[in-house]
Amino acid sequence: MSKKPLLMISAGEASGDMHAAHMLHALKKRGIEFDAFGMGADKLASEGMELTLDCRDLAVIGIVDVLINYPRFLKRIKKLRAALVARKPDLLVIVDYPDFNLKLAETAKSLGIPVLFYISPQIWAWRKKRITRIGNLVSHMAVLFPFEVDVYEQAGIPVTYVGHPLVDDAVCPLEQTAAKDKLKLNRDQPVVALLPGSRNGELARNLPVMLDTAQRIKASTDGCQFVIPVAQTLSRQAVADHVARHNLPCTIIEGDSYTAMRAADAVLSASGTATLETAMIGTPMAIMYVINPINYAIMSRLIQIEHIGLVNIVAGKGIVKEFIQHEAQADAMAIEIQTLLNDDAYHQAMRQSLDKVRNRMGDGGASIRVAELVEQQLSSTLN
């Protein structure tokens, strides 16, 4: 390359911050020197990216939440657009978070700046018409699942299957007893991990129901222990306040979610990336999700697939029970988690199904392949 490239990266959530940070790390290992700025959180900052905007107070979900927070969205979009115009990076990398990031891509397109979209929105599940807009704005797609390639190729959009970064990322070297020891949990008593999500809205809607479920489990399972890993985009204090209101003994940890998953005998997880992470660790789970009722009414009419949990989508069938919206009842979820704790045959059957999901996820190396795509895009721009 004829000059040191300047990258702009926009990641709106904890998972995107992590995956983009690993991409930057892979670029460094390839010997590529660069400067970077944009939106992210701790992990991107730790790889040397200048945080124009911290994403930790931004993550919301659903149409209603977006409308409620629209003034904040506009303010942040305006700030990122101004930085994009002022600094004119050689490449914009947008990571997931499509409704926000595609607005930024509009500005990049107007400036002639190429856009790499890493982690496709789930257009194969709902709102398929978005693909036209993506094709108009994005130079190249880097997708996580093989079946996504056909979707973009049929639309004439350049696309590369890079694999899922969780194959490399979702790893815990500890055995279960060592993981329990690390978290100061009793080796001889069952452990349930509660994963409420990485957004404030998810925390507010999912965690209270999870804690109600935990209270029922504890009442019927002597010595059961509960652990909640707090995503970097959330406040530990906010989680602690919810736990205090439920008067439930619970271990709260910041980060280290993979150790919590390994220590657990069962996981109750919000739908999202965490379900795939739990599958990669291999711990049996149940999935729950509660969103704004208006959002649910809209989304339930648009979703065109049978399951919403990523682990079930990758499996191609329902291997993990989903408790969505009105079905997310504490009594029902407690029964499912207790079955995972007490029915060894059921527990082992789910472990075997999760092993198959892990095999379907491929061999890893996603961050390296995305870094190669970044280098290719930069080479065509700078040379």
Q: The domain 172-360: what is its CATH number?
A: 3.40.50.2000
Half-sphere exposure in the Cβ direction for 276 (13 Å, CA): 21
pLDDT value for 296: 58
Asked if the domains at 6-165+364-382 and 172-360 fall in one CATH topology, the answer is yes
pLDDT value for 130: 86
Q: Domain extents for the chain?
A: 6-165+364-382, 172-360
* Predicted confidence (pLDDT) per residue in 88-105, tens digit: 999 999 998 888 899 999
pLDDT value for 362: 85
Buried b (16+ CB within 10 A) or exposed e, 273-303: bbbbbbbbbbbbbbbbbbbbeebbebbeeee
Mean pLDDT of 210-231: 95
pLDDT value for 199: 82
Mean pLDDT of 78-84: 96
* Predicted confidence (pLDDT) per residue in 209-218, tens digit: 999 999 999 9
Mean pLDDT of 51-55: 93
Class (C level, CATH) for 6-165+364-382: alpha beta
Mean pLDDT of 231-257: 91
pLDDT value for 339: 98
pLDDT value for 302: 53
Mean pLDDT of 145-149: 87
**Cβ neighbours for 336, distance < 8 A, ≥ 6 positions apart:** 286, 321, 323
Mean pLDDT of 271-293: 91
Mean pLDDT of 337-341: 98
pLDDT above 90: residue 74: no
Q: Which residue has the higher pLDDT, 201 or 106?
A: 106
